[in-house]
Amino acid sequence: MQADLKTFSAFGCYGMAAITALTAQNTRGVTAAYPVAPDIVAAQIEAVMSDISPDAIKIGMAATPDIARAVAEALTRYEARNVVLDPVLVPTQGVSLACAGLEAALRATLLPLARLVTPNLHEASALTETPLAQTIEEMAAQGRLLIEAGARAVLVKGGDLAGDPVDVLVEGGEIRVFYGRRIATRHTHGTGCALSSAIACELAKGAPLIDAIATAKVWLEGALEAADALRLGEGRGPPHHFFALWW
């Protein structure tokens, strides 16, 4: 959530939060996670939506099936738009961030509400119940399966593939491949969260989906290039969300 709010600010957007779980984590990994009661999650969403109408919404960690359902019910009631779902399931380092049954709950409740779903390779594999993708073609196939499950558009993130990172967008029967640069830094903690939040910001400003993704990827590369300057932690630190503002 802290990374999301930093990203929103970096893009000139005003972020508001509904906390779904409390976590204990640092650059070395996640050591504990405690879900918030679903009714409290719903109350937080309603407090924002009943007073301020967001131009876009980014969903990250849902934690439990009941929380996923509570989020979906609240967003449906307020006719939320430009929803970007980043299906956080397992961190690169540390304990699981998902309870049993969360994948099925995400498919049934939140996928149909999303303008865009942004799973990484492991999350796409879990959500589609297929082996981990190794190629662009396999990434596209998983994206199509999620479209069939109700998503409007899917960006399968291939940062864990060997070589330069590549992301695959599937939308309306069309496939678009986004190529990027591999930045030489160990500080990549939360890059997926930052990317989906950046896309949500651009959608909030009215950008077409393809342009929103392209702009977000360029910004993230800059944030990763500047990450070493932060000198944070002994493990995988965060990208520098504010690299364009201060060093």
Which positions are annotated as active-site residues?
157, 188, 190-193
Residues 116, 209 contacting (CB under 8 angstroms): yes
Q: Could you tell me the sign of the dihedral formed by the alpha carbons of 209, 211, 212, 213, in that order? A: positive
Closest to 39 in 3D by CA, of 73, 5, 10, 13:
73
Residues 205, 217 contacting (CB under 8 angstroms): no
Rounded Cα gap, residues 122 and 127, in angstroms: 9
Give the residue from 19, 6, 2, 14 showing the smallest Cα distance to 52.
14
What b/e readout covers 122-155, taking b as 16+ CB neighbours within 10 angstroms? ebbbbbbeeeebeebebbbbbbbbbbebebbbbb
* The Cα angle at residue 9 between residues 7 and 11, in degrees rounded to 5: 75
Burial of 221 (0-12, 13-18, 19+ CB in 10 A): middle
Burial of 69 (0-12, 13-18, 19+ CB in 10 A): middle
Q: Helices 38-49 and 65-77: crossing angle, nearest 10°? A: 20
Altogether, the residues listed in the chain come to a count of 247
